[in-house]
Chains A and B, each alone.
Chain A
């Protein structure tokens, strides 16, 4: 039987961590961009668009991420489209992140008092101008801490993609366990690596919250 040193295990896990980080970034950035578009529709004037986004968000918040991954992976396969694991994982996570970010940001936009809309409207600004120059700058300050906080959920969410065969940190952990028969050591490392990724994010979310002093700067 081949012997694996601890370094072998750790080194291979760290290699796989690249994919976790990459997938997290793609999901978060892609989800953020899509979320921006959805936010505009959700808070805009077109009723049909508002309702569409509302149900979109409810659908993605109301079903497990795992089901969404399965549907993206196997569902498209039913139509004869061969979906590679990375594409299914990326798509599902982008759609999922977008739903949550839209909802987080909608709350932030709505936390800006009505008078700000009225004052900017009375100065002749249109909807896009109001959003760009008056509402979003204020909503952004409120939005930063929960948005950074949500990025932790995205990192942890990538672990589920191991089920459809995307080789990231968790999947690599399983593979290495199957070879080394040392589940405790391997998954211990896996957990530590996830923690090393997530802890700085949640810590910075807390720091930003204090720094932006969200509770006390809205008059």
Chain B
């Protein structure tokens, strides 16, 4: 059984159908890059997996648990799947450590000392142990995004969804965030990432998905995908036409 099973998922915003029947299975430990033009539905797909958008039709299950849009099921789902956003979305009124500790304390009811130990460990993992007491506005974009990753990891998810996590960063800061993601992948974390970093997708991912007009247009291993694209749309997207 796959870790994440997405079956015939459809989603419309008003009369605009953004996802037109997506089927995708993700195995444990897989790193999947989703690429495609803006408006092709990639971000919407990720947001559906995390329940930030409610699907109109089809099914999503994570680790065997069916997705249902009520608060209890949503919460259970979100404890399994962490999400990292393009705009970091750190809580500006809390320190880096506070950001990482908050949901442990509030959602998991972890005692403070334990939550703090976990927060220090996770910040260490993203190379920011020394920034425990820094507020988000004292950190660079790359550092903020790494704190966001630590925050998601502290909830010990079985998979992480990354929604264009380097798109809001200055070019020189992209590498430090990707290095963290690369490490996570090496440790066996299941990752589903919407990205524009083609080189990263080629180096790190086990499969690449090309979305086009609300459908999975092409899917394959990075070697085959990038060096031998089958469809003209993908060729065009990769600048090969």
On whether the beta carbons of B155 and A123 are closer than 8 Å, the reply is yes
CB distance from A60 to the nearest CB of B (A): 31
Query: What mask results when residues 102 to 127 of chain A are scored 1 for a CB within 8 Å of chain B, else 0?
Result: 00000000000001101111111111
On whether the beta carbons of B75 and A124 are closer than 8 Å, the reply is yes
Q: In the complex the two chains form, what is the Cα distance from A127 to B106 in whole Å?
A: 12
Question: Can you name the residue of chain A whose Cβ is closest to the Cβ of B80?
Answer: A124
For A123, what are the chain B residues with a Cβ–Cβ distance below 8 Å? 78, 82, 102-103, 107, 151-152, 155
Q: In the complex the two chains form, what is the Cα distance from A124 to B79 in whole Å?
A: 6
CB distance from B194 to the nearest CB of A (A): 15
| Interchain residue pairs with CB less than 8 A apart (25) | A115-B89, A118-B89, A119-B85, A119-B89, A119-B90, A119-B91, A120-B91, A121-B52, A122-B50, A123-B78, A123-B107, A123-B151, A123-B152, A124-B75, A124-B78, A124-B103, A125-B106, A129-B107, A133-B106, A134-B91, A134-B102, A138-B93, A217-B92, A217-B137, A218-B92
- Which residues 29-50 of A sit at the B interface, judged by CB distance below 8 A? none
A211 within 8 Å of B (CB atoms): no
CB distance from B190 to the nearest CB of A (A): 16
Q: How many A-B residue pairs have CB under 8 A?
A: 64
For B92, what are the chain A residues with a Cβ–Cβ distance below 8 Å? 138, 217-219
Using a Cβ–Cβ cut-off of 8 Å, how many residues does chain B contribute to the interface with A?
27
Question: Can you name the residue of chain B whose Cβ is closest to the Cβ of A128?
Answer: B106
On whether the beta carbons of B78 and A116 are closer than 8 Å, the reply is no
A-B residue pairs, 3 tightest by C-beta: A119-B89, A123-B103, A115-B89
Question: Can you name the residue of chain B whose Cβ is closest to the Cβ of A122?
Answer: B83
CB distance from A45 to the nearest CB of B (A): 9
B87 within 8 Å of A (CB atoms): yes
Q: In the complex the two chains form, what is the Cα distance from A133 to B104 in whole Å?
A: 12
For B103, what are the chain A residues with a Cβ–Cβ distance below 8 Å? 120, 123-125
- 17 extra interchain contacts, Cβ-Cβ under 8 A, other than A118-B89, A122-B78? A115-B89, A116-B91, A118-B52, A119-B91, A120-B91, A120-B103, A122-B50, A122-B82, A122-B152, A123-B102, A124-B75, A124-B103, A126-B75, A134-B102, A138-B92, A217-B137, A219-B136
For A127, what are the chain B residues with a Cβ–Cβ distance below 8 Å? 71
Q: In the complex the two chains form, what is the Cα distance from A123 to B90 in whole Å?
A: 12
On whether the beta carbons of B85 and A124 are closer than 8 Å, the reply is no
Q: In the complex the two chains form, what is the Cα distance from A126 to B78 in whole Å?
A: 11
Q: Which of B51, B85, B106 is packed against the most chain A CB atoms within 10 Å?
A: B106
For B93, what are the chain A residues with a Cβ–Cβ distance below 8 Å? 137-138, 141
Q: In the complex the two chains form, what is the Cα distance from A73 to B100 in whole Å?
A: 54
Question: Can you name the residue of chain A whose Cβ is closest to the Cβ of B50?
Answer: A122
On whether the beta carbons of B137 and A219 are closer than 8 Å, the reply is yes
Q: Which of A120, A123, A133, A217 is packed against the most chain B CB atoms within 10 Å?
A: A123
On whether the beta carbons of B107 and A124 are closer than 8 Å, the reply is yes
**Known contacts A123-B103, A124-B107, A133-B106; A118 and B85 CB within 8 A of each other:** yes
Q: In the complex the two chains form, what is the Cα distance from A121 to B102 in whole Å?
A: 12
For B79, what are the chain A residues with a Cβ–Cβ distance below 8 Å? 124
CB distance from B68 to the nearest CB of A (A): 15
Query: What mask results when residues 85 to 119 of chain B are scored 1 for a CB within 8 Å of chain A, else 0?
Result: 10101111100000000110011000000000000
For B82, what are the chain A residues with a Cβ–Cβ distance below 8 Å? 122-123
Q: Which of A118, A122, A138, A141 is packed against the most chain B CB atoms within 10 Å?
A: A122
Query: What mask results when residues 132 to 162 of chain B are scored 1 for a CB within 8 Å of chain A, else 0?
Result: 0000110000000000100110010000000
